[in-house]
Structure 1
C-alpha cells in the first residue's frame, strides 16, 4: 500500500509540474514562430545532423555543406532547439504520468485513460513538430501544432485541478449555465485557431488601422484562398501568391472572432459572478480577457512588437487554464 501511495504522490506532483511546463512550451513555441526561427534547424529531431547547434567555424562549415539549401543562423537554431529540448522534457514527464497513472489507478482522481489519451496526443504533437520542419511551415500543420499544444495544456490543467483543486457538481445546478461554461472552451479554441492561422499566414499586419480595416468596416476580402487548408505557405489554392484580399480576410475573421469571444466570455462572467465559489475565478477570467483584447489591439497599432506578440500567446494560454479550471470546478468527482 505504501508503494502505491508514493506513486500517487509522484503522479500528483508531476501533473502540476507538467501543466506549468506545457504553458512554457506553448509560449516558447510562439516566440520561435514570431522570430522566424521555426526553420532554424532544417532537420528533426537534431539540428544539422547533431543534437546540439553547430557553433565553431568548422562545425558551421560542415553543417552548411551537409545542408546547402539552408543558411546556418546560430541564434535561430538555438531558439528552435531550446523549444525542442523543453518539449522533449515535457514528453518524458507525460510518459511518467501515464505509467504512474496506471500503477495508481485506484487512487488517482480521474480515469487512467485520460493520461493515456494525453500520451497519444503529445506523441502526435511531436509528429506535428517534425512535419512543421519537413513540410516547411505549411499553415495547416503549424496551426494544428498550436492547437495540439493548447489541448495538451488543457488536459494537464484538468488533471492538475482534479488533484489539487476543489470541485463539486452542486456549485452550478443550472444545466443551461453548465452547457454555456462547456461551450466557452469551444469558442476559445476556435479563436485560438483563428489567431494561429493569422500568425502562420503572416496576416497579423494585413491592415493596421483599428477598428476599421483599410478604412472600411468590411474591406475587400477573399475567403476562398484565405481558408483553403491544404496549401503551401504564402500560396493560394492554385499555387499563386496570396493576395492582400486573402490575408485581409484572415485578419478580419480573427477580429470578428475576438469580438464574439469577448462578448460571450463577458456574459459568462456576469453569470458565474452570482456564485460565491466562482467569483474569484470570474474576476480573473475577466481581467485576463481584457488584457488579451488590449494586447491584440496594441499589437496591431504598434506593428507587432515581439514582447507584446509573445504576451498575446501567453494570455491565450492563461485563458485556456482558467476555462478548464472553471469546467473542472463545476464537475462531479466521478471518474
Structure 2
C-alpha cells in the first residue's frame, strides 16, 4: 500500500503538469465530448472517422495535436484514479483484517478523485467555465497533498531528541499553507481567464493600470456559450493579473519570515534543512513567474510554474506536518 501511495504521488504531480500543458496549449477543448474523443477511446485518425467527427462537431473540427494533448491527460488521470481505488480497497481490507492502517484518508481520496473526474467532465461540457477550470486545478493540488499526507502517516520518521519549541510556530506554518493555496487559486483564476499576459511590464503594469482596476468584474462570471480564450474585458484581466502579483509579494514575504523564524528557533537539523529547501523552491517559483512576463509566457516556463507551485505546496505540507506530528 505504501508503494502504491508513493507511485500515486508522482503520478498526481505528473497529471498536474499534463493539465497545465493541456491548458497552456489551448487543448482544453481538444476533444469536445467526454470521456471519449469525438465518440472514440482514441483520437480519430482514419479519414472516415475524422470526417464523421467533423460532421458531428462542426464547430470543433478535429485538431489531432490538441486532441492528443487532452486525451493523454485523461488517460493518466484515469490511471491515477484507478491506483487511488486500489489504495482505498487495500485500506479497507487491512482494517477488516484488524491491522492498524489509515482508512479515512484513503476513502476521502477516493471521493476527491471521483469529484475531480466530474470537474474534468464539466470543464469540457461547460466549455472551460473559469470557476470549473480553477476548481479542477485546486482539486488536483488537493489530491496530491492528501496523498502526500497519507504517505507521511505511513512513514515513521522522528526528529531526534524532539523539538518542542516548534509547536508554537506550527499554526503559522498552517497559515502559510492557506496563503499559498490562495495564491495558487489566484494563479488558476488568472490562467483560466487568459489574463496571464494582461500586464507585460515589471514590476508594475504598463500605463495607468490603477485606473483600470475592476475588482467586481474580475471575479464575475459573465454568461457565455464558450469561455475559451476568455470573455472578460481587458480591465478585468488586468485586475486579475495585478492581484496575482500582489498575492505573490504577500506569499513570498510571509514564507520568508516563516523560514527565518523556524531556522532561528529550531534546534533540529531536519527543520533547518526543510526551511532551506522551502526557500530554494520559493526562489525558483519567483524566477519562473518573472520569466513568464519577461519572455511572454513560454510554454515550458509556464508549465514548470505549475509544477514548482505543487512542489512548494508539498514542502509546506511536510514542514507543517513535521511540526504538528513528528516530535
**Band the TM-score falls in, shorter-chain normalisation:** over 0.9
Describe the superposition over 1:262-283 as per-residue Cα deviations: whole angstroms up to 9, x where unpaired.
Answer: 0011111112223222111111
C-alpha change, 1:167 and 1:195, in structure 2 (3 Å) is farther
The range that moved more, 87-96 or 220-229, is 220-229
Q: Are 1:71 and 2:61 counterparts? A: yes
Who is 2:200 aligned against?
208
Q: In structure 1, how many angstroms separate the alpha carbons of the residues matched to 2:227 and 2:212?
A: 19
CA displacement 1:40-99 (0-9 Å, x = unmatched): 001000000011100121211111122222110001101100000000000000001111
Query: How large is the RMSD of aligned CA atoms in angstroms?
Result: 2.1
> Is it true that 1:155 corresponds to 2:146 in the alignment?
yes
Tell me the CA shift for residue 164 of structure 1.
3.2
Match of 2:272 in 1: 279
Q: Distance in 2 between matches of 1:175 and 1:193?
A: 28
**TM superposition score normalised by structure 1:** 0.90
Unpaired runs of at least 5, structure 1? 1-10
The alpha-carbon deviation at position 234 of structure 1 amounts to 5.4
TM-score, structure 2 length as denominator? 0.92
CA distance in 2 between counterparts of 1:42 and 1:165 reads 46
Question: Following the alignment from structure 2 to structure 1, what is the Cα–Cα distance between the partners of residues 208 and 156?
Answer: 47
Which residue number in structure 1 is paired with residue 217 of structure 2?
225
Question: Any unmatched runs of 5+ in structure 2?
Answer: none
Cα 1:135/1:177, change in 2 over 3 Å: same
Aligned to 1:299: 292
2-structure distance, mates of 1:294, 1:165: 35
**Distance of aligned partners of 1:164 and 1:197 in 2 relative to their CA distance in 1, 3 Å threshold:** same
- In the TM superposition, 1:110-121 aligns within 5 A as 110=102, 112-121=103-112
2:283 is matched with which residue? 290
The equivalent residue for 2:302 is 309
Q: Does the 8 Å contact 1:170/1:330 carry over to 2? A: no
SS at match of 1:213: coil
- Which SS does the other structure have where 2:325 is aligned? coil
**Count of aligned positions:** 319
CA separation of 1:231 and 1:174: change in aligned 2, threshold 3 A: farther
Match of 1:8 in 2: none
Distance 1:179 1:147 in 2: 22
**Mean CA deviation greater in 96-105 or 158-167:** 158-167
